[in-house]
Amino acid sequence: MKILTIESTCDETAAAVITEDLEVLSSVVASQDELHQRFAGVVPEIAARAHLERCLPVIDEAVRKADIQLADIDAVAVANMPGLAGSLLVGVTAAKTLAWLLGKPLIGINHLQGHIYACQVAFKKPIFPCIGLIISGGHSTIYHCKSPFDFEPLGGTIDDAAGESFDKVASMLGLPYPGGPSLSKCALNGDPKAYAFPRPFLNDTSRLDFSFSGLKTAVRYEIAGPGAVDFKSLEIDEQRKADIAASFEQAVVDCLVGKTMQAMKSTGIQRICVGGGVAANKRFRVALEEEVSAAGGELLIAPMHLCTDNAVLGAIAVEKIKAGQVDDLSLDALPGLIRN
């Protein structure tokens, strides 16, 4: 069986061809970073228009790289939740059209569940049940993942996502977009203990939530103080910039790792699976590996190329087909966070 998977939840247009054995025959991703760089963040209207231009060429390239014909596809899967409304609609419309034209099954998938399932694709072994941590530009959530489709939320951010905070702090420091990689590169030359930025909720064992808004504000005050300020006009010493970046990054990592370990302890589940763009952060990966190993647990983090948005996440469609969970042409885009 060969499944064509389509991803367009945010600003990456992607397609892949995957077999029922989770063999990735092809994976193509078209980035939009250059389109959003001047805005230091994703502009939904621009993202949707770019998906329109790139969706069919990306699908065509994925099919060609898999060395098959479109008629060889046995099913079409698409991430239809959650994400940006306009972006989702492009992918869902393309998937529904192809499924109808080819007379093949259509499978809608939850993008967040796909991020965790990427660990099963990467490590080629069953991963459920597990504690699932999804950290990206739009999500920072801890789940008890009982099965590929049964995710019980244990906690999450009450304001900003970790990735969004990375982008905003990078912008304040005058670092290029996308902010996460730029800030981490800058932080390599900094002292993570130079500034005592807050770690919200870290010592509160009664909840497994994150809060990055106050941390972001603390960094802002350290850079420029209160009141209106034009960050583009600020001149920050390079060492001070690196120290702020390192101290901020360490604070985020401490929160993410601390709450994940609390979830592991409170549930008794020893396997941790992590997905999402922020999971590519090297400081985070090393810190979590050390903590989980010390606690006698098992850590599975998707490889870096499967952390950021890509269509291989759609491999979870294999599980939906096995379970008989096939959709019809009434499948719709669901932009809100679906807690299931």
2-115+309-322 fold: Nucleotidyltransferase; domain 5 (3.30.420)
pLDDT < 70 positions in the chain: 337-340
In sequence order, the β-bridge partners of residue 16 are 5, 27
Per-residue confidence (pLDDT) for residue 339, from 0 to 100? 42
Look up the pTM and report it.
0.94
Could you tell me if 1 and 66 are in contact, meaning their C-beta atoms sit under 8 angstroms apart?
Answer: no
Contact 189, 242 (CB under 8 A): yes
pLDDT digits (tens, 9 = 90+) for 178-191: 999 999 999 999 99
Annotated binding site for Fe cation: 111, 115, 309
CATH topology of domain 126-306: Nucleotidyltransferase; domain 5 (3.30.420)
Domain with CATH 3.30.420.40 in the chain: 2-115+309-322, 126-306
pLDDT of residue 235: 87
Token representation of residue 9: 């939840």
pLDDT for res 295: 98
Quote the CA–CA distance of 124 and 290 in Å, as a whole number: 23
pLDDT in the model for residue 39: 87
**pLDDT attached to residue 337:** 59
Does the N-terminal peptide bond of residue 178 adopt cis geometry, omega within 30 degrees of 0?
Answer: yes
| Sequence ranges of the binding site for substrate | 134-138, 167, 180, 281
Residue 340's pLDDT is: 35
Binding residue ranges: 111, 115, 134-138, 167, 180, 281, 309
